[in-house]
Structure 1
């Protein structure tokens, strides 16, 4: 979908932005900066390395996309890159005005213009908006005369980008296409980045369809069968996940026959799906090409571990029929019997 390793960082502006409740938390720089080659390479890593998922977004507006202020400034820059610096100030000012919650941290806002960005089948430009809110303490150790000196410095960890978006110069009339990072989105005050400042909606591509259906399946197992045995839940989740791993395309009828199988479970699943779509405000489709990146990402959320008191963990990766649960009346303890062919 996208390839960022050959992207060239051509222009860069840095401002300081905090909460609107603090009028002094907006500090606009007077000009662009031109770092040396080594710093540019570090900045590229800092800005671009976090973008690994193919979940895409686009700008939105309730009436007219051109009334989305951030979209308007981005469009001006793509139309005329010489307007990059002026619009970097406009974007920083917009972010400050939308940062209404007093708990929003002050941090550096980086505006970056990239060339030679691979997106889909084309090479295009991209504009990055990145904010670093968290600082860490580092030790600087250096020789001094016949010994060493140790100093403490506060700085930005280039492996931890707090917030960012990368906007590709494609699909202009449909709000462009962008990737978004929001690592500090843990409370109501953090919603400002996507909802108030950028004003974006998710783009419904195959990554979205795959991710949404897998999430639907996992929620179905947990909510419709809350009393089911843990091992049965793991088996049901793995059956659904294996379908997506093995198939190239999703077909709802095939999925129901191969995974759900029993008519009562199929009916329960379809009823739950209707409720889920309404509650989550998401769409699920009956047919789509399966995105393997979304499948791989979902693996870490599928709990395949049975935790038995504090003594044992059983990892279940395959055939559910090879493990049985029982109860020992004499010991008054539960037990599992595991069948296997060979020990590794």
Structure 2
């Protein structure tokens, strides 16, 4: 969890980075921005409020982390904060080189050095990389001698940070502890921020281990045959969620608890090995779980049975009280639900 209660801005540089595909170029500052005392509180809110998730990333490179441009620039700033102007220019140029998707908008790019940030209860310094792309229209009301006057003005909403990244000065050897948000791009164009510019990947921590295990189960269950309808698949997903809500997971015990039969347990373990290799991740055989990493919406489609265009059955448990059959006279399938109370 990230806290900005004690956080202080010690240095800030603002540039403008355009879309390279449209040849918009960059407008680079020649000095730090230092007139933020009166708006310090608002800037802290703007920069920190979007970071609500406990999912963290780390910088990496397929050959060596020293070849990751952002990692090296951040390392230089942490080593000597006085280099922030020079490093921010290099970061802006690097961001511009990655801004080649037609949907990427130009905008202000902020490089900020913070002190006294708290992540997971530990106080540390941090570097923020932020980009604002969209402007809102605001109305200004001015009182005149004989009435009021309304004017419009374009500005940045404090509630709408478009893209952001907080790098905490921890675990440098593992690529730092990094938090990332992108509230604008969700498709292929979003990758330019996380993959092409930052070049980060999820950290191997308990939060991501829990999420990866849930995703693994969802992927494995989705490819199972549905000869008896979707009840079995919903059962497996509900069991997976229940098992991941325990304090820790042992993969052998987890597989037996969720899938039951030796044949299915063996298939799950084999699938796990393939799944890890294809996605370049590693799920430990034993790890502590993080309940906040389990999102019911991630399994929603797996635990919902849609019947033609008439009915949806959401299964949250009690699979023993639902039966599937076939009505010869109607030539249609049916479900029977047994319950004690209607709410």
Normalised by the shorter chain, which TM-score bucket?
A: 0.7 to 0.9
The aligned residue for residue 292 of structure 1 is 291
Spell out, residue by residue over 1:27-59, the C-alpha distance to the aligned partner (whole angstroms, 9 max, x if none). Answer: 112333345566333332222122222222222
Q: How much has 1:104 moved relative to structure 2?
A: 2.6
CA change 1:88–1:7 in 2 (3 A) is: same
CA distance in 1, matches of 2:178, 2:5: 17
The answer to whether structure 1 residue 318 and structure 2 residue 310 are counterparts is no
After the TM superposition, which of the residue ranges 69-78 and 153-162 deviates more from structure 2?
A: 153-162
- In the TM superposition, residue 214 of structure 1 has moved relative to its aligned partner by 0.7
CA distance in structure 1 between the aligned counterparts of 2:66 and 2:277, rounded to whole angstroms: 29
Q: 1:257 aligns to what SS in structure 2?
A: helix
Out of 256-265 and 140-149, give the one that drifted further. 140-149
Give a deviation string over 1:285-342, Cα, whole Å, max 9, x none: 21111122212xx321111333344444333222111222334445555443222223
List runs of 5+ in structure 1 lacking aligned partners. none
Report the equivalent of 2:239: 239
* TM alignment of 1:68-107, pairs within 5 A: 68-107=68-107
**1:243 CA displacement:** 0.6
SS at match of 1:224: coil
Deviates more, 1:40-49 or 1:250-259: 40-49
3-state SS of paired residue (1:170) = coil
Q: CA deviation at 1:160?
A: 3.1
Q: TM-score, normalised by structure 2?
A: 0.87
333-342 or 89-98, which deviates more: 333-342
TM-fit CA distance, 1:184: 3.9
Q: How many residues align?
A: 340
5+ long unaligned stretches in structure 2: none
Q: What CA distance in whole angstroms lies between the structure 1 residues aligned with 2:258 and 2:61? A: 39
Q: Is the 8 A contact 2:17 2:108 kept in 1?
A: yes
Q: Give the CA deviation at 1:152.
A: 4.7
Within a 5 Å distance, the mapping from 1:29-40 to structure 2 comes to: 29-34=29-34, 36=36, 39-40=39-40
Q: 1:31, 1:85 within 8 Å by CA — same for their partners in 2?
A: yes
Question: TM-score normalized by structure 1?
Answer: 0.87
Q: Secondary structure at the match of 1:325?
A: strand
SS of aligned partner of 2:316: coil
Partner of 1:140, secondary structure, is strand
**Segment of structure 1 superposing worse, 184-193 or 8-17:** 184-193
Cα distance in 1 for partners of 2:335, 2:141 equals 58
CA RMSD of aligned residues (A): 2.7
Report the alpha carbon displacement of residue 166 of structure 1 after superposing the two structures with TM.
0.6
Pairing of 1:9-88 with structure 2 (within 5 A): 9-34=9-34, 36=36, 39-88=39-88
CA pair 229-13 structure 1, distance change in 2 beyond 3 A:
same
What is the distance in 2 between the residues matched to 1:9 and 1:228? Answer: 59
Higher mean Cα deviation, 47-56 or 307-316?
A: 307-316
Bigger CA drift: 138-147 or 189-198?
Answer: 138-147
174-183 or 211-220: bigger deviation: 174-183
Work out the CA distance in 2 between the residues paired with 1:277 and 1:64.
21
Quote the Cα distance in structure 2 between the aligned partners of 1:5 and 1:18. Answer: 33
Q: Find the partner of 1:302 among 299, 304, 315.
A: 299
CA contact (8 A) 2:325 2:335 kept: yes
Q: Is the 8 A contact 1:112 1:129 kept in 2?
A: yes
Matched, 1:342 2:341: yes
- The DSSP-based 3-state class of the residue aligned with 1:54 is coil
- The equivalent residue for 1:190 is 190
On the 8 A contact 1:141/1:148 being kept in 2, the answer is no
Distance (Å, rounded) in 2 between the aligned partners of 1:155 and 1:310: 45
Superposed CA deviations along residues 174-231 of structure 1, whole A, max 9, x for unmatched, are 3222111233444444322233322333321111211111100011111123555123
Distance in 2 of aligned mates of 1:149 and 1:302 = 53
Aligned to 1:140: 139
Query: Are the aligned partners of 2:210 and 2:293 in contact in 1 as well (CA < 8 Å)?
Result: yes
Distance 1:95 1:20 in 2: 10
CA 1:310/1:196 → structure 2, altered by over 3 Å: closer, same or farther? closer
SS of equivalent residue, structure 1 residue 284: coil
* C-alpha distance 300-30 of structure 1, shift in aligned 2 (>3 A): same
Between the aligned partners of 1:150 and 1:161, the Cα distance in structure 2 is: 27
Residue in structure 2 matched with residue 269 of structure 1 by the alignment = 268
Is this contact kept in 2: 1:71–1:175, CA < 8 A?
Answer: yes
